[in-house]
Amino acid sequence: MSTPAIRILGVDPGLSATGWGVIEVAGSRLSYRACGSISTGTEMALARRLAFIHRELTDLIAEHAPDEGAVEETFINRDPRSALKLGQARGVALAALALAGLNVAEYAANLVKKTVVGVGHAEKAQVGMMVKMLLPTSRAQSADAADALAVAICHAQHRQARIRGAA
């Protein structure tokens, strides 16, 4: 009996650019479905930027019908103002996925890198290269989109352990 495919939406939150990536996983097989980046202009008011991210994620969820979501956790930033804005964008991403009824997992950036590259402090270029190796048909045009695919891959690898732990 074959394992049913699970569609995962990975999100790399950011106020200027929120990366997103959709993959399917059936057993240990990963398949690329779509990816991109949601960009907001600095000329927009903060509330409008956050609303735009929410609206775009909601539309992506409707279009791609993921079964589960995964969001990268915020890392500590030296600039409190930037950290707060990143946290707000992350909150909007979490809310959009949760309001759509998805189970949402969160992963630290180092765990995402370690899962995908094998090293917790990998560079963005290394992450992008490994995403391309794991998902040869992927078309990530930005580091944000590649990072979001990496978050989805991380979730695919760790979700079985989460399921076993919940049982």
Catalytic positions, written as ranges: 12, 72, 144
* Helix extents (H) in the chain: 46-64, 80-99, 109-116, 124-134, 143-166
Structure tokens at 3: 């394992």
126-133 CB contacts, 8 Å cutoff, 24+ apart: none
Compute the distance between CA of residue 70 and CA of residue 12 in angstroms, rounded to an integer. 9
Burial 44-74 (b: 16+ CB within 10 A, else e): eeeeebbebbbebbeebbeeeebebbbbbeb
